Amino acid sequence: MSEDHKEKRQPGAVMSFLVFGAAIAVLLLGVVLLDYDIHIVLLCALAVVCIASVPLGYSFMDLVDCMKKSLGQALAAMIIFIFIGIIISSLIFSGTVPALIYYGLQYIIPDYFLPIGLLLCSLTSISIGTSWGTVGTMGLAMMGIGAGMGIPAPLTAGMVISGAFFGDKMSSISDSTNLAPAAAGTTLYAHIGAMWKTTFPSYIITLAVFTVLGLSYHGGNFSMDTVNLFLDTIGGRFHISPLVLMPMAVLLILNLMKYPAVPSMAIGTVLAVLVAVFYQGCPMREVVAGLNYGYAESTGVELVDKLLLRGGIQSMMYTFSLSCIAISFGGVMEHVGYLPQIVKVIIKRVRSDRMMVPVVIASTTFGTLTMGEVFLSIVVNGSLYKEAFRERGLRPEMLSRLLEEGGTLTQVFIPWSTSGVFILSTLGVGVSQYWKYAVLNYVNPVLSIVLAMFGIYVLKVGAEEKKSLCHRLIHSHKLS
């Protein structure tokens, strides 16, 4: 009884930085230097923070309550993780994802390989909600085709990465796209709406760059072997017709209507299951099992299998469990008071709202730089700045947008990050080679910062946004 009512003290700024530094040191040592599993290392960092909190008057159950508060706030996103696995699996069973790849590959034109490849990688990533899945499948196909055309491997890799991470950032079934709004305290569709403001112009710039670059490489010996391999394998396994695109079309329409994410995915799943059973001829028992374990019927072609053998609830358990531990870590850091103290020191030096944009982007990039894992960086920085944004009257979807710009996109430039290592092992091209060609990944954060300096897309609660970008620029110029 006396323990429950034990007076709790707030940590000072020095102690907060020491505890946070100790946790980061554990993560750096475990993940970067020793290459241990991120889950176990993160649990150790959580233990360090909990032990440091005991002298402040916190019991074990008090610390559990801190974790429960943050986990409760992120519960909606955690449920969506499960539905992401279900919808991916159902769209593969129905032939929707294979059809998207099948139709897309038929329209490759040598002179426009790079912009078409960018669009194909973007479409694939949006449809399956994962940059890694896109890099390991469509990305590998693009690397083979690009080599046959005489296009440098780093250039093709940059195109693949730009398209893959565009979809990872914008897809409603992407884990990072659901984690960022949960960490910032906003909704999925408000988050996606805020991201479009800076992502759309960035994507147009990226598309233009790859169009110009593509026209410079059209004299190579073009080989369609890889494309034909995909087409023959997919066409031989699935019934391909516009009908199988219906589940994805309905899902996209519901997304545009801002229908709740979970019911949208449920509707899309039901339609995909019906197409799988009645059009593709898959046994119902096999489809139902696949919703849990993923699509498991091998085609015998490794490149195609890397695309199709995925999905299911169990495929999301790595992300689900990591997110649980990361959110618990952030919950203790936030509710004990370490993060608010750190924020006070940082925010005290940030005088204008527009400067919050480069601060959050840099902070999230630094988080991935030090921890090597973007999910953890998104959660920690979301907790770090959430209250500060609320006090300044800035919208939470602006924070979630910045978390993705500084986390999801910039992780590819960090060689020891999980994404940097995966890209090197999959595409055979390192950060030092492809960084300048990953156009979207640096144009988007830079454009966001530049626009913020003019006061553009600094989203404030209750403030009406101007309808014209030109109007905003003119107005900002007059004020200056």
Cα dist. 122→128, 139, 171, 410, 412 in Å? 10, 11, 10, 17, 16
Mean pLDDT score, 363-377: 79
Nearest residue to 282 via CA among 36, 120, 123, 93? 93
Is the pLDDT score of 270 beyond 90? yes
Cα dist. 79→9, 188, 228, 309, 346 in Å? 35, 13, 39, 22, 33
3-class SS of residue 459: coil
Per-residue pLDDT at 470: 46
The mean pLDDT of the chain is 85
pLDDT tens for each residue of 65-123: 999 988 887 776 678 778 878 988 898 999 988 888 888 777 777 788 899 999 989 98
For residue 68, report the phi and psi dihedrals to the nearest 5 degrees: -65, -35
Per-residue pLDDT at 181: 92
CB environment 52-82: b (16+ within 10 A), e (fewer): bbeebebeeebbeebbeebbebbebbbebbb
Which of 142-156, 253-267, 279-293 is the most confident on average? Answer: 279-293
Per-residue pLDDT at 480: 46
pLDDT tens for each residue of 146-182: 876 778 889 999 999 999 999 889 988 788 888 899 8
Mean pLDDT score, 219-248: 82
Beta bridge partners of 87: none
Cα dist. 268→31, 264, 364 in Å? 38, 6, 33
